[in-house]
Amino acid sequence: MALVDRVLLGPGPSNPYPEATAALAAPLLGHLDPEFLRVLDETCARLRTVWGTENARTLPLSGTGSIGMEAAFANFVRPGDTVVVGVNGLFGERMVDVAGRYGAEVVRVDHEWGQPIDVARMLAAHPAPRLVGAVHAETSTGVRSDIAALAAAVHGRDDHALVLADCVTSLAGIEVDIDGWGVDVAYSGTQKCLGVAPGLAPFTVSPRAWERRVEHPPTWYLDLNLIGAYVDGSNGGRTYHHTAPVAMIASLHAALGRVLAEGLDAVWERHRAAGARLREGLVDLGLDLFAAEGHRLPELTTVRVPDGVDSAKVRSILLNEYNIEIGAGAGAFATSVWRIGLMGHNARLDRVELVLSALARVLGR
Ligand code: PLP
């Protein structure tokens, strides 16, 4: 692959923190080396802090964010269980698809793209579901949904349903408080606000969800009972399950160290300030923001492509002449919306000014 040094401001991978990149280049350790197992334990401990949880079962799964989604449905839903899924974008759609493949009776609650999940409608969708799932930060639309309110409403009704949150684009970018909110199962991905390359899915399970897990999920690789034996020795001692992606875990360990050294509050504030300045700058350029006001993610801004402007051409000029990647819209908004990410290492004012000035020039504004 050509060594092109892009500024990655799309919805996909962002530029990793330098500490994460350096760790990838460090000498490799064996996956059962005591030093690696120490790094793995510390990575899980650091993940607990970033998730805001004391959940014993908090670990990085091998695979991208979608593997977290698969693991959630494989381990906590039995065929025939009713699952309520909030759909307000592409990743809610994916939840519906994955839940159905594991045999769930899916009750989907559709929302207009660009709007957050409506808690009352989620609650009214079914009186006693097994699980209620929603996406915290919808990367396809740039919308934040109120997972705290959803979890409070679901658990306030009865003790039957588990709450599942997709935190792929939220973890380490905006507040996530798994224990405080009462979320039972959550997953993320390393390539967004965590500031690592794609390849791991941080995952966390509450004690209540663990009690209700599927004993023999229809997957060997993602069976949390088996993975737990390797990651935390929870089945009576550490035994081999699969060869851990040691370099990726070392990289995540380093990025989490960086985030925690900066402080979670400071990291969230850095994302907030960068997102606010980007929105202000886009409006100053005469552009219209897409996501519903009051629910906009600082780490992923959606903006409408002005009338008469060729979306793909602008993105191509930014990429080829300025080395800046921004994303196209998703689904029906593929050519009418741009998505600009400011995640992790890129949640900085210098990145904001860079993309704003390049965009102004390309648009002739
Ligand atoms: N959920 C959300 C909100 C996402 O943004 C993504 C990816 O962008 C995924 C799930 C799937 O993650 P991955 O592409 O890493 O498998």
Tell whether 247 and 278 lie within a shared domain. no
Tell whether 149 and 65 lie within a shared domain. yes
pLDDT digits (tens, 9 = 90+) for 297-348: 999 999 999 999 999 999 999 999 999 999 999 999 999 999 999 999 999 9
CA torsion angle 163 169 172 176 (round to 10): -20
- Residue where one domain finishes, among candidates 213, 233, 261: 261
pLDDT at residue number 239: 79
Determine, yes or no, domain membership for 215.
yes
Ligand 1 pocket check for 189: Cβ under 6 Å? yes
Q: What is the CATH number for 40? A: 3.40.640.10
Q: What is the DSSP letter of 346?
A: G
Q: Looking at the predicted structure, is the pLDDT value of residue 235 above 80?
A: no
Distance CA 242, CA 111 (A): 39
Distance CA 273, CA 342 (A): 10
Determine, yes or no, domain membership for 355.
yes
- Residue where one domain finishes, among candidates 261, 287, 305: 261
Distance CA 272, CA 298 (A): 5
Determine, yes or no, domain membership for 55.
yes
Average pLDDT of span 77-86: 98
Tell whether 79 and 216 lie within a shared domain. yes
Using an 8 Å Cβ cutoff, are 229 and 239 in contact?
Answer: yes
Which amino acid, one-letter code, is at 242? Answer: H
Tell whether 269 and 254 lie within a shared domain. no
Q: What is the DSSP letter of 191?
A: T
Tell whether 64 and 142 lie within a shared domain. yes
Distance CA 57, CA 224 (A): 9
Tell whether 140 and 127 lie within a shared domain. yes
Ligand 1 pocket check for 90: Cβ under 6 Å? no
Instruction: Give the position, in ligand 1's atom list, of the atom nearest the Cα of 167.
Output: 3
pLDDT at residue number 174: 98
Using an 8 Å Cβ cutoff, are 329 and 338 in contact?
Answer: yes
Ligand 1 pocket check for 65: Cβ under 6 Å? yes
Tell whether 232 and 336 lie within a shared domain. no
Tell whether 314 and 221 lie within a shared domain. no
Ligand 1 pocket check for 36: Cβ under 6 Å? no
Determine, yes or no, domain membership for 206.
yes
pLDDT at residue number 252: 98
Ligand 1 pocket check for 71: Cβ under 6 Å? no
Q: Which domain holds residue 84?
A: 18-261
Ligand 1 pocket check for 66: Cβ under 6 Å? yes
Determine, yes or no, domain membership for 2.
no
pTM reported for the whole predicted model: 0.98
pLDDT digits (tens, 9 = 90+) for 98-125: 999 999 999 999 999 999 999 999 999 9
Question: Total domain count for the chain?
Answer: 2
Ligand 1 pocket check for 306: Cβ under 6 Å? no
Helix (H) or strand (E) holding 110: strand 105-110
Compute, in angstroms, the gap from residue 330 CA to the centroid of ligand 1.
Answer: 13
Compute, in angstroms, the gap from residue 364 CA to the centroid of ligand 1.
Answer: 33
- Residue where one domain finishes, among candidates 204, 227, 261: 261
Compute, in angstroms, the gap from residue 346 CA to the centroid of ligand 1.
Answer: 18
pLDDT at residue number 111: 98
Compute, in angstroms, the gap from residue 235 CA to the centroid of ligand 1.
Answer: 30
Instruction: Give the position, in ligand 1's atom list, of the atom nearest the Cα of 67.
Output: 16
Structure tokens at 326: 């921004």
Determine, yes or no, domain membership for 192.
yes
Determine, yes or no, domain membership for 163.
yes
Q: What is the CATH number for 309? A: 3.90.1150.10
Between strands 200-205 and 185-187, the pairing is antiparallel
Determine, yes or no, domain membership for 249.
yes
Distance CA 330, CA 336 (A): 9
Tell whether 233 and 352 lie within a shared domain. no
The number of residues making up the chain comes to 365
Tell whether 36 and 97 lie within a shared domain. yes
Tell whether 141 and 164 lie within a shared domain. yes
Compute, in angstroms, the gap from residue 217 CA to the centroid of ligand 1.
Answer: 22
Tell whether 350 and 254 lie within a shared domain. no
